[in-house]
Chains A and B, each alone.
Chain A
Amino acid sequence: MLAEIGAASIDDLFAVIPAGNRLDRDLAVPRAHAESEIIDYFRSAGRKNATGYASFLGAGAYRHYRPVIIDSLVQRGEFLTSYTPYQAEITQGTLQAIFEFQTMIAELTGMDVANASMYDGSTGAAEAVRMAMRVTGREKAVVAATVHPEYREVMATYARHQELPSTLVGYDPKTGRVDLAALEAAITQETAAVLVQSPNFFGVVEDIPAIAAIAHAKGALLVVSIAEAVSLGVVRPPVEADIVSLEAQSFGVALSYGGPFCGVIAAKEQFLRQMPGRLVGQTVDGNGNRGFVLTLSTREQHIRREKATSNICTNQALVALMATIFLSVYGKEGIRELAEHNLAKADYAAKALGAQPGARLLFAGSPRFNEFVLQSEEAPAAWSQRLLDKKIVGGIGLARWYPELDNSTLWCATEMVTREQIDTAAKVLAAAAVEAL
């Protein structure tokens, strides 16, 4: 090949790089490994990570059962090793699957349309607020303190250079829900968007109709973030919202230490032209056959450059496919049944743990999905190691984000948690309280 090109050596092809800028040594990276060694290395890393623990962690990343066919199907090379479907004639498989994903998300969220995906729930929420700015021509946001703290941090990063000051609105300490009076006071004629999460970071379902009425009365859009997508099987969708930002990880996506997950933005149809991200639309070919294409791309960076609605290009397509397959497996009845199992497990766990001496269930009267907040007399550190000794990872401490919620922990019980594990955790909590006396 070198002879064909007319080059004497491979180095000729790199002669254009000035000699002083060339690397004239080996990279100091590990030596080449055989496939068997690579597998050994990662298996060993997996073992160091400790397996076999029961987990009550949620907080934006949820452990649900992943039907086997998800991985059988997404590992088909035709899905796995295909590019973004710009060449529609030879990517109809990906395009139709995304169209089905968009339909399912719209159905579940109660919105008219959904996009092809965003990076995750945190960036999706930030982009949804920016979208509301474009729609309303206003430049401020009001954000509930009950939105996932890391989502709020991401929003702050996105907003910093957009002249988008955001006002934080607290929660009612009795209900764990957004303080509606404070919300009403915070919204002004300059507010583009009100961002809330439901179920919120405490697992409490917000009063979306009331929040929407308050936001809309002042001409602001309501953006609802949903971090636990399985809730949509049993919790009323936020139909009064203008934009919904969903984290779809719960739909069959592995925890994978926090990523890749799958954000998605859904909205009322009238806001379509301000949506970020890719959209798949139905059309026909020259013979009148139904087909699908990427559409409305004049919103996007590869056409509009600095005037685009977002700089997003690569999204989370294969993860959206996982969600689509998950939702096909569970279907209309299954998603409800699955959600009801979560509701039952969390209700049992909340009551069992909240009944232990020295422990108290916070926001007990509010509607919840599969998470709850437990307050203990003793610092969580006192009993969390005992739980770890029993191979149980307990709830996550909330004080790092909510200093006022001292000694409070956020627990999650999905369908993957067993009654036995809940009972064991309750016993450990009780023992800790006894020792504390």
Chain B
Amino acid sequence: MTTNATGPHTLGKVRPHPTQNEALLFEKSSPGKRAYMLPPLDVPAVDAAALLGPAHRKTPGQLPELSEIEIIRHFTRLSTWNYAIDLGMYPLGSCTMKYNPRVNELVARIEGLAEAHPYRPDSLAQGILEVIDLLQCCLLEITGMDAITLQPAAGAHGEFTGILLVRAWHESQGNPRRKIIIPDSAHGTNPATAAICGYTVENLKSNAEGGIDLEALAAQVDYETAALMLTNPSTIGVFESQIARIAEILHAKGALLYMDGANMNALVGKARPGDFGVDVMHLNLHKTFSTPHGGGGPGSGPVACKAFLEPFLPIPVLVQNENGTKHWKYDRPQSVGRVRAFYGNVGMFIRALAYILANGPDGLRQTTEDAVLNANYIRKKLDGVYELPYKTASMHEVVFSDKLQAAKGVKTGDIAKRLIDYGFHPYTVSFPMIVHGALMIEPTESESLEELDLFISAMRSIAKEVEETPELVKTAPHSTRVSRLDEVQAARKPILRWRPVE
């Protein structure tokens, strides 16, 4: 077997190809170049310095000056340095990197929707209000909840909103309570959210199966417990089969069950949180409902709740008039207030509704089944090659550990980087924290059997490399534009912007 810089082989999915170098926009700038032209001014020109007085800007910001084709080439070249779902499987556990249908992009840009000002009169906004109403109805049906707000801009923002509802309800009962219980397997946003809402975070240790320890929970829940924040299926991809009992334990002490809906892709059309005791939850439209991740956003984090929490929803809420038209209602004295200006990331609502319309009831169920099938297929094919710390049945994602490879000094982070050389984005590394050296893999329904088999072959091949040439894995990736970057230097002497050379 020959070993070159990119390793012995890449299983045919990739081979190195040149990409172009590209300097920063500012380094490419030259005075006088322009990519814009304004129409002739049809009103009298004004003397800005005279109008604004001391508030007039004398020194312009140092923005780059470039021609249009230079800008096109700049960003096109940059784009070729990115991995993306459009290039192949993106098995990031908990992130649900599924295909982003292109029709969704088209409909979100339809003029009457994309150009609508948020303060236009309701009479001129009935089209978008109908879209919002239909999406709300669909999400309520999918979750089995009673009321919903689409205002939160992302999952963590939804958590914030949901816990505010919890707090407002407890306050209405006479005591906001003091603490939120969070399993040690939870996303970092959960404890961060609880803290922002003024709660103390109490950790709940997972049981031997990685799930909720009912006895420990029962011992921990008291009359100062506001809620349990639970991800279900959990971050190890396991459905909490004792979920009804968990809800009972909480409700017996007047505490609420909050569900982090990050993993709803395992449940849509198969089970509804509203049917298994959840009081309030958030969804991630950018995960379950296919709105694009866009390199880190925008997302959208609707919050759905049971009827008793409805009076506390953020203002405004959408209501229907007797004649069928719709308007925003602001007069809601028990509301927690606003969590952002206007009504939410409406462009994402349009895309999510387009996804639901494209699938219909059968498609939504099939999507969930395929996502779970794909994860279980990977689990079966890699079990033994990588250690499976929890044997509990997997739903839409599977978590392995690097225990077998760590014996050779190779860690999950190394295996992840080597996966890049095989043409895949890494899985989620070192999370959840209850699994030491975790490899968290979520294929989603979007992947074909062929792509799954290629991924499995890559993972098996890397396991073999760990045995035979561990250094090759530990120094990966070998085929990228840049090798491993010096994160310590970046943090020690932060350079967060370009500055002109003196």
Task: State the Cβ distance, B184 to closest chain A Cβ, in Å.
Answer: 10
Extra contacts, 20 of them, besides A157-B337, A301-B189, A319-B298 (Cβ < 8 A), are A16-B241, A16-B393, A27-B364, A30-B134, A33-B358, A49-B128, A53-B120, A61-B118, A151-B341, A161-B164, A236-B58, A260-B298, A282-B490, A295-B487, A298-B491, A311-B193, A314-B299, A333-B34, A334-B36, A367-B52
**How distant is the Cα of A116 from the Cα of B83 in the complex, in angstroms?**
19
Candidates B24, B68, B296; contact of A317 at CB < 8 Å: B296
Establish whether residues B298 and A318, one from each chain, have CB atoms under 8 Å apart when the complex forms.
yes
Let me know if A402 is at the binding interface, CB within 8 A.
no
**How distant is the Cα of A95 from the Cα of B110 in the complex, in angstroms?**
30
Let me know if A166 is at the binding interface, CB within 8 A.
no
For window 292-311 of B, CB contacts with A under 8 Å fall at 292-300
Establish whether residues A259 and B496, one from each chain, have CB atoms under 8 Å apart when the complex forms.
no
Let me know if B385 is at the binding interface, CB within 8 A.
no
Contact with A along B116-149 (1 / 0, CB 8 A): 1111110111111011001000100110100000
Known A28-B141, A81-B100, A315-B154; judge A92-B62 contact (CB<8 A). Answer: no
Establish whether residues A71 and B109, one from each chain, have CB atoms under 8 Å apart when the complex forms.
yes
Task: State the Cβ distance, B142 to closest chain A Cβ, in Å.
Answer: 6
Note all chain B residues with C-beta closer than 8 A to A331.
Answer: 29, 33-36, 63-66
Candidates B61, B87, B106, B490; contact of A295 at CB < 8 Å: B490
**How distant is the Cα of A296 from the Cα of B487 in the complex, in angstroms?**
9
Name the interface size band of chain B.
Answer: 35 or more
Candidates B56, B97, B117; contact of A234 at CB < 8 Å: B56
Known A35-B103, A89-B420, A295-B487; judge A340-B48 contact (CB<8 A). Answer: yes
Note all chain A residues with C-beta closer than 8 A to B392.
Answer: 16
Establish whether residues B297 and A319, one from each chain, have CB atoms under 8 Å apart when the complex forms.
yes
Note all chain A residues with C-beta closer than 8 A to B60.
Answer: 233, 332-333, 335-336
**How distant is the Cα of A96 from the Cα of B27 in the complex, in angstroms?**
13
Note all chain A residues with C-beta closer than 8 A to B284.
Answer: 314
Establish whether residues B298 and A316, one from each chain, have CB atoms under 8 Å apart when the complex forms.
yes
Note all chain A residues with C-beta closer than 8 A to B126.
Answer: 48-49
Candidates A23, A88, A100, A332; contact of B271 at CB < 8 Å: A23
Contact with B along A418-437 (1 / 0, CB 8 A): 11101000000000000000
Note all chain B residues with C-beta closer than 8 A to A419.
Answer: 42-43
Establish whether residues B56 and A35, one from each chain, have CB atoms under 8 Å apart when the complex forms.
no
Note all chain A residues with C-beta closer than 8 A to B384.
Answer: none
Task: State the Cβ distance, B361 to closest chain A Cβ, in Å.
Answer: 4
Known A17-B241, A99-B498, A232-B57; judge A10-B369 contact (CB<8 A). Answer: yes
For B186, the closest partner residue in chain A by CB is A305
Most chain A CB neighbours (cut-off 10 Å) among B138, B294, B417 = B294
- Report, nearest first, the 8 A-B pairs whose CB atoms are least far apart: A46-B112, A258-B342, A318-B294, A32-B360, A77-B86, A258-B118, A161-B198, A48-B127
Contact with B along A183-216 (1 / 0, CB 8 A): 0000000000000000000000101010000000
Note all chain B residues with C-beta closer than 8 A to A301.
Answer: 156, 188-189, 191-192
Note all chain A residues with C-beta closer than 8 A to B48.
Answer: 234, 339-340, 343
Task: State the Cβ distance, B14 to closest chain A Cβ, in Å.
Answer: 11
Note all chain A residues with C-beta closer than 8 A to B272.
Answer: 23
20 sample A-B contacts, Cβ–Cβ < 8 Å, listed by A number: A5-B380, A17-B270, A21-B243, A23-B270, A26-B361, A35-B358, A78-B80, A80-B100, A89-B481, A119-B157, A123-B153, A235-B57, A256-B346, A259-B345, A281-B495, A306-B191, A311-B160, A315-B297, A345-B43, A367-B51
For window 286-330 of A, CB contacts with B under 8 Å fall at 286-287, 289, 291-293, 295-296, 298, 300-308, 310-319, 321, 325, 327-330
Note all chain B residues with C-beta closer than 8 A to A44.
Answer: 127
